[in-house]
Chains A and B, each alone.
Chain A
């Protein structure tokens, strides 16, 4: 591997990158405001309540970020059909045995750190792809429960269409608790995700971190030739 020529591969198209960073922003705002809605800070203020709208603004930010999050997610679903092969939905949903073989391989090499031939994927590796699928499902859960909680106070038919959600769970109580608990899934996901990106960049030296900026990843000439169909 030493001294090998690297080949530049265009992996993440612009829409994928825009999706990624919008998603980052939305999740960040949603987690911060969501946490504050559950545990508002103690404020001591002599101001008239009518002059302040702090909690109202926090909630407004939460709802706005939530709509951005949702439409962004919908767009990504569309792009998983329209986009290039690395954006395709097959990267996320296991449909064949090869997918699982790769998951085990990644587990062995990257997570349990066994020595051996490094698994150098070009796009997502199978385990990462599958995790994105899991977090996609969690995102759907968040969107549905969130819209359900908002439905009664909304005037938009789309949001109102989710009025069945609290009834399905029994009451707003349960929906709200689960909506809040799932936030932690996103926080934990982010921790692991960011760490593993650094891990790959550090161990493999192929521009993992910067790929979400410019879209480029680099693979060894040898691997490029090996993966190229004749």
Chain B
């Protein structure tokens, strides 16, 4: 270990030792993280080495239009070190929710980190940014959220967009989106942005993503929309334990029927698992206790863009845009098909009136020919 000098930031391991964790605890944490990240066995050693040798990365954690459920989820992730390593002031240079400082002191701390570690710090953003007017719907310390974001993003090494708010706007971006709640990637260009969507995201997923960033000094492999592949490459549906019922065509029709009691698939009561990319079925929630489907409620697709405008939550088919809440594509289609059917009937009747001459001619000609022919069988 390198000598500790006032200039040198402590490594993660050193910080943890100071906080009273044993090496054993530390190793356990590294193993858990390697498993979550889907690394090979040697990955544990890599993580251990990285956390022992790299000084901790300064982190600025901004809160905009959000409900803080991401932070709540994060500090409840199953391994206590997760909370300690990132949130207990060890690594966080600035976060409105958990820092001790407040007011001017807090702002000064953020400015200092941004200046001292320009180009090094990781910027975590929780919440969407109000892009309406001058940003008056979301101001902190006299600055608009957009201003704060842009200032902080300028010197960031990478940006972590926590939760659906920062990734796609979440419920405050629902139509008509009065504050013009805007996700981070639409406002910041030219910086690596990792999206960790979910309302909230799973704590372990957030920790895993951060640990990957720290361990490998690089952003994890991302999928087509910028989410870490390790956690978002499969649908909830693909790891759902009710999947055999789905494949068998056995569905709960209501939440209190016999089928629901038997634990049948929740597809018909609106489960959006087949469209939702997340790790809920594998990592689960609250220290792996359960996840919505296991608790008898369908997935609402909280980590998918626009889930809020693709309701209703308790029906499979979304309501069709522009036709009211009750109208899904099938109802609109059926009405349209009915109208076309009626049109055809009218047209058929009109044809017999309007084209009478023509039709009679054809029929006459045919009948005449029939008369002229012999029936060879009689």
Contact = CB atoms under 8 A, between A and B. Distances in A.
Nearest to A149: B275
Interface string B357-378: 1110110111000000000000
A183 B351 contact: no
A184 B340 contact: no
Contacts of A45: 250
A188 interface: yes
Chain A contact residues: over half helix, strand or loop, or mixed?
Answer: helix
Contact of B224 (A43, A118, A163): A163
Contact of B310 (A52, A163, A177, A188): A177
B292 interface: no
B350 interface: yes
B249 interface: yes
A177 B301 CA distance: 14
Contacts of B301: 171, 173
Interface residues of B, number: 57
A173 B233 CA distance: 16
B329 A180 contact: yes
Interface stretch (A18-26, A84-92, A198-206): A198-206
Contacts, number: 148
Contacts of B310: 173-174, 177
Nearest to B301: A173
Contact of B248 (A52, A163, A176, A177): A52
Interface string B243-262: 01111111101000011000
Given A55-B247, A171-B304, A177-B329, A195 B224 contact: no
B285 interface: no
Contact of A205 (B245, B272, B362): B362
Interface in B232-249: 233, 235, 238, 244-249
A39 interface: yes
Interface stretch (B186-194, B200-208, B210-218, B316-324): B316-324
Interface residues of A, number: 54
B336 A184 contact: yes
Nearest to B366: A205
Contacts of B268: 40, 42
A152 B340 CA distance: 37
Interface in A66-82: none
Given A53-B248, A172-B304, A181-B333, A195 B350 contact: no
Interface string A157-189: 000000110110011111011001101100110
A164 B316 CA distance: 24
A55 B365 contact: no
A203 B275 contact: no
Contacts of B306: 170-171, 173-174
B330 interface: yes
A188 B358 contact: no
A113 B329 contact: no
A43 B235 CA distance: 25
Contact of B333 (A111, A152, A187, A205): A187
A58 B247 CA distance: 9
Contact of B341 (A39, A170, A191): A191
A142 to B, nearest CB: 14
Nearest to A206: B362
A43 B350 contact: no
B224 A164 contact: yes
A7 B340 CA distance: 35
A50 interface: yes
A180 B305 CA distance: 19
A40 to B, nearest CB: 6
Given A39-B316, A181-B320, A184-B336, A54 B249 contact: yes
B2 interface: no
Given A173-B306, A187-B333, A205-B366, A167 B225 contact: yes
Contact of A40 (B267, B276, B362): B267
B231 interface: no
A38 B331 CA distance: 12
B336 A188 contact: yes
B108 interface: no
The 6 closest A-B pairs by CB, nearest first: A184-B333, A54-B249, A172-B275, A52-B248, A55-B249, A205-B362
27 contacts: A38-B317, A39-B316, A39-B330, A40-B251, A43-B251, A45-B250, A47-B248, A49-B244, A54-B248, A55-B249, A56-B247, A56-B249, A113-B347, A113-B355, A118-B358, A152-B277, A153-B238, A167-B224, A170-B168, A170-B306, A177-B329, A180-B329, A184-B333, A191-B337, A191-B344, A203-B351, A204-B358
Interface of A: 1-3, 35, 38-45, 47, 49-56, 58, 111, 113-115, 118, 152-153, 163-164, 166-167, 170-174, 176-177, 180-181, 183-184, 187-188, 191-192, 195, 199, 202-205
